[in-house]
A and B are shown apart, each in its own frame.
Chain A
Amino acid sequence: MVRADAVETRPRLRRRSAGRLNRTPAGWIAAFCLPALALYGLLIIVPLGTAFYYGFFWWEGTQRAGFAGLGNYQEILTRYPLGTEIPTALWHNVLFFVGTMAIQNTVGLGLAVLLYRNPRFKRFFQTVFSLPYLISPLIVGYIWSLLLSPNFGPINYVLRSVGLESWALPWLGEPTTALPVLVLVNAWQWIGGPMLIFLAALGGIPQELEEAAALDGASPARAFWSVRFPLLMPAVGVITVLTFIGCFNIFDLVYALGGSDGGPGGAMDVLGLLYYRTAFEGGTNAIGESSALAMLIFVVIFGFAIVLERLLRRREVTQ
Chain B
Amino acid sequence: MTPLSPATTRRAARAPEQAGPPPARRGPGFGLRRVGVQLLLWGYTALAFGPLVLVLVGSFRTNADILQQPVGLPTSLDLGNYQRAWETASLSIYFLNSVAVTVAAVSLCVAVSAMAAYALSRWRFRGRAFLAALFISGLMIPAKLGLLPVFYMYQSVGLIDSRIGLVLLYAANGVPFSIFVIMGFMRGLPLELEEAARLDGANPGRMFVSVALPLMRPALAVVTVFQFALTWNDFFYPLVLMRSDEKYTVPVGLTRFFGEFAADRATLFAGLVIALVPLAIVFALATRHIISGLTAGMSK
Q: Real complex partners, A and B? A: yes
Q: Check A122 for interface membership: any CB of B closer than 8 A.
A: yes
Q: Check A166 for interface membership: any CB of B closer than 8 A.
A: no
Q: Check B104 for interface membership: any CB of A closer than 8 A.
A: no
Chain A interface main SS type: helix
What class of interface size applies to chain A in its complex with B? 35 or more
Q: Which of B1, B24, B51, B130 contacts A117 (CB 8 A)?
A: B24
**B168/A39 in contact, CB under 8 A:** yes
**A36/B51 in contact, CB under 8 A:** no
The answer to whether residues A152 and B146 also contact, given A136-B233, A234-B300, A306-B140 and a CB cut-off of 8 A, is no
**A28/B204 in contact, CB under 8 A:** yes
**Complex: how many Å from CA A136 to CA B70?**
24
**B283/A136 in contact, CB under 8 A:** no
- State how many angstroms separate the Cβ of B234 from the closest Cβ of chain A: 8
The answer to whether residues A13 and B126 also contact, given A111-B44, A291-B148, A305-B140 and a CB cut-off of 8 A, is yes
**A138/B290 in contact, CB under 8 A:** no
- State how many angstroms separate the Cβ of A303 from the closest Cβ of chain B: 10
- State how many angstroms separate the Cβ of B239 from the closest Cβ of chain A: 8
The interface on chain B, measured as residues whose beta carbon lies within 8 A of the other chain's beta carbons, has a size of 112
Contacts of A201 in B (CB 8 A): 298
A-B residue pairs in contact (CB < 8 Å), sample of 22: A9-B126, A21-B195, A28-B203, A29-B123, A31-B205, A44-B172, A50-B149, A128-B45, A131-B49, A134-B233, A139-B272, A142-B272, A152-B67, A154-B70, A191-B48, A196-B291, A196-B295, A200-B298, A202-B16, A204-B15, A245-B140, A280-B148
**Given contacts A134-B290, A146-B269, could you give 10 more A-B pairs where the C-beta distance is less than 8 Å?**
A29-B125, A43-B146, A47-B153, A118-B37, A131-B52, A234-B300, A251-B144, A255-B235, A279-B147, A316-B300
Using a CB–CB distance below 8 Å, which chain A residues touch chain B? 2, 5-6, 8-9, 12-13, 16, 19-22, 24-26, 28-29, 31-33, 35-37, 39-40, 42-48, 50-51, 54, 62, 111, 114-119, 121-122, 125-139, 142-144, 146-147, 152-154, 156-158, 188, 191-193, 196-197, 199-204, 207, 210-211, 234-235, 238, 241-242, 245, 248-249, 251-252, 255-256, 272, 275-276, 279-280, 287, 290-291, 294-295, 297-298, 301-302, 305-306, 309, 313, 316
